[in-house]
């Protein structure tokens, strides 16, 4: 699907509670000569901002710090190629291009976790809502005393030197609009603000802060403080979980740590601690 551009002054929207993003104001607030963000484009709709930005990077048409935001995605993807859909202007759906060439590729796996920390940090500042991270890349909020997923992160390689990180956050989604009962939104979690412009600025500023800190430490998760901060905000740790692993294998145990490679360490009932680098994690009720 071809992206449809939108100007910052577009006043044609059907839901008065969901005004469009102001692209010009976002660029004024975020694009600086000495900063990470090199350009911000807002389109009214596209299939997937990740797919679009990966293609642009492959064609040499995007530089590091390019940000592509869609008011609506028709083919948004989560992990394991799950669909991500939401009404137009009900959330933040964006992708960024990062080229951390001064960081060993072996440490690039920390980028989705870094983004999770930045999203949680930015939303805490700008929305005033408590969030938690479910390993590896889900954003959780509390609605009616229950944990619900309000966002997700998907990282994809973009050629040999880049990574595109996509973020989807439900902002004003109402109860009757939820795709599944376990979904949530910032509004349902009692956010003090659901104005998407300052929310996006807050998240991107936090992402720039953490990315700069991580790169300055050559991607070392301990030196940069990333490993400790992620663990502190990770709702998966200390919980009994089931990991659905590749090859139709599953592992049940307590999530006890996130190791130096960003893997979730699960202690099984047999006394074995097994690191999990890829898989679907289910939070289980206490035995």
| pLDDT tens digits for range 171-189 | 999 999 999 999 999 999 9
Per-residue pLDDT at 146 exceeds 70: yes
- Token pair recorded at residue 172: 């004003």
Least confident segment among 65-79, 102-116, 151-165: 65-79
Percent of the chain with pLDDT over 70: 90
pLDDT in tens, 228-272: 999 999 999 999 999 999 888 999 999 999 999 999 999 999 999
Beta-carbon contacts of residue 13 (< 8 Å; ≥ 6 apart): 19, 20, 89
pLDDT of amino acid 285 = 86
Strand partners, 253: 241, 268
This prediction has a pTM of 0.92
Cβ-contact 49, 94 below 8 angstroms: yes
Average pLDDT over residues 38-52: 96
3-state secondary structure the chain: CCCEECCCCCCCCCCCCCCCCCHHHHHHHHCCCCCCCCEEEEEEEECCHHHHHHHHHHCCCCCCCEEEEECCECCEECHHHCEECCCCCCEEEEEEEECCCCCCHHHHHHHHHHHHHHHHHHHHHHHCCCCEEECCCEEEEEECCEEEEEEEEEEEEECCCEEEEEEEEECCCCHHHCCCCCECCCCCCCCCCCCHHHHHHHHHHHHHHHHHHHHHCCCCCCCCCHHHHHHHCECCCCCEEEEEECCCEEEEEEEEEECCCCCEEEEECCCCEEEECCCEEEECCCC
Task: For 154, list phi and psi in degrees, rounded to 5.
Answer: -135, 120
Cβ-contact 126, 202 below 8 angstroms: yes
pLDDT of amino acid 10 = 44
pLDDT of amino acid 6 = 47
**Average pLDDT in the chain:** 92
Determine the Cα–Cα distance for residues 250 and 243; give it in Å rounded to an integer.
Answer: 5
What pairing do the DSSP bridges indicate for beta strands 264-268 and 273-276?
Answer: antiparallel
Determine the Cα–Cα distance for residues 74 and 204; give it in Å rounded to an integer.
Answer: 23
pLDDT in tens, 50-60: 999 999 999 99
Per-residue pLDDT at 83 exceeds 90: no
């Amino acid at each position: 699907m071809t992206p449809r551009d939108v100007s910052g002054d577009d006043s044609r929207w059907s839901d008065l509670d969901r005004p469009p993003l102001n692209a010009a104001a976002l660029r004024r607030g975020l694009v600086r000569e000495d900063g990470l963000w090199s350009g911000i484009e807002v389109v009214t709709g596209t299939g997937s901002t990740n797919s679009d930005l990966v293609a642009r990077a492959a064609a040499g048409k995007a530089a590091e710090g390019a940000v592509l935001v869609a008011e609506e995605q028709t083919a948004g993807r989560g992990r394991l190629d799950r669909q991500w859909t939401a009404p137009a202007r009900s959330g933040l759906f964006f992708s960024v291009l990062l080229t951390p060439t001064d960081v060993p590729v072996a440490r690039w796996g920390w980028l989705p976790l870094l983004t999770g920390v930045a999203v949680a940090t930015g939303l805490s500042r700008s929305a005033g809502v408590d969030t938690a991270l479910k390993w590896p890349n889900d954003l959780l909020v509390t609605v009616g005393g229950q944990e619900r997923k309000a966002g997700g992160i998907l990282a994809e390689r973009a050629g040999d030197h880049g990574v595109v990180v996509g973020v989807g956050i439900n902002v004003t989604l109402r109860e009757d609009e939820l795709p599944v009962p376990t979904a949530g939104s910032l509004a349902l979690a009692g956010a003090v603000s659901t104005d998407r412009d300052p929310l996006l600025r807050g998240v991107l500023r936090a992402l720039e802060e953490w990315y700069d800190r991580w790169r300055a430490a050559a991607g070392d998760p301990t030196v940069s403080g990333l490993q400790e901060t992620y663990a502190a905000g990770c709702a998966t740790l200390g919980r009994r979980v089931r990991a659905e692993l590749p090859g139709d294998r599953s592992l049940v145990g307590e999530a006890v740590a996130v190791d130096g490679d960003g893997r979730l360490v699960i202690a099984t009932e047999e006394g074995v601690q097994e690191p999990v680098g890829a898989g679907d994690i289910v939070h289980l009720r206490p035995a």
